[in-house]
């Protein structure tokens, strides 16, 4: 189906196991050529960037689809976790019937994929055609600093001190335990009542639980979409969830890796996908993602795929730690300059010249691959499952 010639990104030697079909080489005249594959046998840190509407989320969805379509023997090595801030990956269980012909020209056909959808308890009833599972995070997985960030409390204020004291007095607690602890403390009425109000508010988000753990999303071979779109105007809670999740998965994999040295793998390797990643970089979540996942994630087997419209907003660390950058059309000077500053020496032409080869083709991208020290112009393949990120179409409703 793919012909003889192929390009392998993220891997130096050949082989046909553990490959994701990403798309095809894009020639200058717009015609597409040899297939391009991504390696998953090794951990990777991938940044997808590009301006609005040129294919970041679509490309992310294509990579997720390829995981869901891997043969079970390889797929069961992984757990795929998608932090879905806009609720656009939740329709991957439905086939992409609209692009049937295009898919067939690629030897593919529309396909609804086997995914699990998780949402906070108060939002699980929002889906028409799927049964969403309840997602909770362990209340004790967040530090006093995380809680202060979430509640907008200065950690050095009397409120911050009382909150930190209540958190540190127990190993495992629910939000209600914290409220009870603070109410019985000798804090002033003012401190007690304002913390009471704030903690009651976060209890209503129905996301914290004393007994939660992440075993459900760590089933070998599972593709887990965590839909946080219901928290539309609450970026604080989304970043706390990402901080808790990424910290816990890091700890789980570090511990598992130690045991794997002497036995076989019981805990899957993790690929985490975060769209709109700029939302998290200035928060506690960003610290964990940069310091633990990007800097130290290779050894415990943690792979991270981030997508953003604004690569300049992610900071130099992210650009320099990514071992692959998939860059769709980009026109803002700040963003092009940020990529230019991070341009490796094997990319011989300036970033703006390389990007000019993409024209305005949606789904076309320049891919810079550190493993093979090469860069390529690729058109990402069409999606087999429904993409939820397209813009709404205005119809005549007369
Ligand atoms: N590889 C592709 N093949 C075919 N169509 C594509 C491809 N990539 C993107 N498109 C088209 O472009 C539209 C926008 O893509 P996408 O939702 O990925 O944008 P985006 O870059 O994530 O934008 P935003 O920054 O607004 O989230 C898709 O709905 C789809 O119609
Ligand atoms: Mg998008």
User: Are 230 and 258 part of one and the same domain?
Assistant: yes
User: Are 84 and 172 part of one and the same domain?
Assistant: no
User: Are 17 and 118 part of one and the same domain?
Assistant: yes
Q: Is residue 358 part of a domain?
A: no
Does the Cβ of 89 fall within 6 Å of ligand 1? Answer: no
User: Are 255 and 303 part of one and the same domain?
Assistant: yes
For residue 215, the Cα-to-chain-centroid distance in whole angstroms is 18
Q: How far is the CA of 389 from the centre of ligand 2 (A)?
A: 6
Q: Is residue 389 part of a domain?
A: no
Instruction: Name every residue whose Cβ is closer than 8 Å to that of residue 380 and which is 6 or more positions away in sequence.
Output: 22, 23, 55, 58, 59, 62, 363, 364, 365
Strands (E), the chain: 7-9, 19-26, 32-39, 45-49, 78-84, 116-119, 133-134, 137-138, 208-209, 223-227, 269-274, 302-308, 324-327, 364-369, 374-380
User: Are 244 and 287 part of one and the same domain?
Assistant: yes
Over the chain (398 residues), the average pLDDT of each successive run of 10 is 77 91 85 90 97 96 98 96 96 95 94 96 90 94 90 95 94 94 94 96 92 94 96 87 94 92 86 95 91 96 97 92 96 94 92 91 96 95 91 77
Last residue of a domain, one of 184, 208, 232: 208
Does the Cβ of 301 fall within 6 Å of ligand 1? Answer: no
Q: Which ligand lies nearest the alpha carbon of 388?
A: 1
Q: What is the CATH number of the domain that holds 280?
A: 3.40.50.300
Give the model's pLDDT for residue 398.
75
Q: Is residue 350 part of a domain?
A: no
Q: How many CB atoms lie within 10 A of CB 216?
A: 16
Task: Give the pLDDT confidence of 154-188 residue by residue, as tens digits.
Answer: 999 999 999 999 999 988 999 999 999 999 999 99
Does the Cβ of 214 fall within 6 Å of ligand 1? Answer: no
Q: Looking at the DSSP assignment, which residues form a beta bridge with residue 366?
A: 327, 377
Q: How far is the CA of 86 from the centre of ligand 1 (A)?
A: 14
Ligand 1 atom with minimal separation from the 381 CA: 1
Q: Is residue 357 part of a domain?
A: no
Give the model's pLDDT for residue 392.
73
User: Are 286 and 330 part of one and the same domain?
Assistant: yes
Does the Cβ of 387 fall within 6 Å of ligand 1? Answer: yes
Q: How far is the CA of 230 from the centre of ligand 2 (A)?
A: 17
Task: Give the pLDDT confidence of 195-228 residue by residue, as tens digits.
Answer: 999 999 999 989 999 999 999 999 999 999 999 9
Does the Cβ of 54 fall within 6 Å of ligand 1? Answer: yes
Q: Is residue 190 part of a domain?
A: yes
Ligand 1 atom with minimal separation from the 391 CA: 29
Q: Looking at the DSSP assignment, which residues form a beta bridge with residue 227?
A: 84
User: Are 113 and 236 part of one and the same domain?
Assistant: yes
Give the model's pLDDT for residue 3.
54
User: Are 250 and 328 part of one and the same domain?
Assistant: yes
User: Are 20 and 71 part of one and the same domain?
Assistant: yes
Q: How far is the CA of 382 from the centre of ligand 1 (A)?
A: 10
User: Are 199 and 299 part of one and the same domain?
Assistant: no
Q: Among 23, 32, 50, 58, name the best residue to mutate to test ligand 1's pocket (greatest count of ligand atoms within 8 A of Cβ).
A: 58
Ligand 1 atom with minimal separation from the 387 CA: 29
CA proximity to 270, closest of 286, 248, 288: 248
Does the Cβ of 315 fall within 6 Å of ligand 1? Answer: no
Last residue of a domain, one of 169, 189, 208: 208
User: Are 24 and 116 part of one and the same domain?
Assistant: yes
Task: Give the pLDDT confidence of 362-386 residue by residue, as tens digits.
Answer: 999 999 999 999 999 999 999 999 9
Give the model's pLDDT for residue 297.
96
Q: Is residue 88 part of a domain?
A: yes
Q: Which domain holds residue 84?
A: 7-94+109-136+212-339+365-380
Q: Do 284 and 252 contact (CB within 8 A), yes or no?
A: no
Q: Which ligand lies nearest the alpha carbon of 381?
A: 1
- Nearest protein CA to atom 14 of ligand 1, as residue: 53
Last residue of a domain, one of 208, 242, 267: 208
Structurally, the chain folds into a number of domains equal to 2
User: Are 115 and 219 part of one and the same domain?
Assistant: yes
Q: Is residue 344 part of a domain?
A: no
Give the model's pLDDT for residue 4.
67
| Whole-number Å distance between alpha carbons of 381 and 379 | 6
Q: Do 252 and 141 contact (CB within 8 A), yes or no?
A: no
Q: How far is the CA of 63 from the centre of ligand 1 (A)?
A: 14
Q: How far is the CA of 61 from the centre of ligand 1 (A)?
A: 10
Give the model's pLDDT for residue 292.
96
Q: Is residue 355 part of a domain?
A: no
- Nearest protein CA to atom 9 of ligand 1, as residue: 55
Q: Is 2 helix (H, G, I), strand (E, B) or coil?
A: coil
């Amino acid at each position: 189906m793919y012909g003889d010639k192929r390009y392998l990104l993220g891997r130096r030697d050949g082989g046909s196991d553990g490959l994701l079909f990403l798309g095809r080489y894009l020639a200058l005249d717009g015609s597409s050529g040899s297939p391009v594959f991504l390696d998953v046998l090794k951990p990777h840190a991938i940044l997808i960037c590009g301006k609005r509407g040129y294919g970041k989320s679509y490309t992310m969805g294509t990579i997720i689809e390829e995981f869901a379509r891997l043969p079970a023997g390889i797929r069961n090595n992984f757990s795929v976790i998608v932090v879905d801030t806009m609720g656009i990956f939740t329709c991957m269980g439905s086939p992409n019937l609209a692009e049937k012909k295009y898919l067939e020209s690629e030897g593919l056909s529309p396909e609804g994929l086997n995914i699990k959808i998780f949402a906070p308890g108060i939002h699980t009833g929002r889906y028409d055609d799927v049964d969403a599972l309840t997602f909770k995070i362990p209340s004790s997985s967040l530090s006093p600093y995380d809680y202060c960030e979430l509640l907008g409390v200065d950690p050095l204020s009397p409120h911050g001190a009382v909150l930190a004291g209540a958190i540190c007095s127990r190993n495992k607690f629910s939000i209600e335990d914290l409220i009870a602890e603070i109410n019985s403390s000798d804090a002033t009425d003012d401190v007690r009542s304002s913390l009471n109000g704030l903690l009651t508010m976060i209890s209503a988000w129905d996301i914290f639980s004393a007994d939660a753990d992440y075993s459900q999303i760590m089933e070998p071979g599972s593709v887990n979409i965590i839909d946080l779109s219901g928290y539309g105007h609450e970026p604080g809670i989304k970043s706390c969830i990402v901080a808790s999740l990424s910290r816990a998965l890091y700890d789980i994999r570090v511990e598992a890796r130690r045991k794997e040295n002497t036995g076989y793998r019981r805990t899957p390797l993790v690929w985490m996908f975060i769209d709109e990643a700029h939302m998290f970089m200035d928060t506690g979540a960003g610290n964990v993602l940069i310091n633990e996942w990007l800097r130290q994630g290779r050894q415990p087997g943690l792979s991270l795929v981030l997508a953003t419209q604004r690569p300049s907003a992610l900071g130099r660390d992210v650009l320099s730690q990514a071992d692959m950058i998939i860059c769709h059309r980009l026109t803002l000077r700040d963003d092009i300059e940020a990529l230019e500053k991070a341009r490796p020496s094997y990319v011989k032409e300036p970033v703006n010249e390389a990007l000019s080869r993409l024209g305005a083709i949606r789904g076309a991208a320049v891919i810079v691959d550190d493993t093979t020290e090469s860069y390529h112009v690729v058109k990402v393949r069409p999606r087999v499952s429904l993409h939820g990120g397209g813009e709404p179409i205005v119809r005549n409703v007369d």
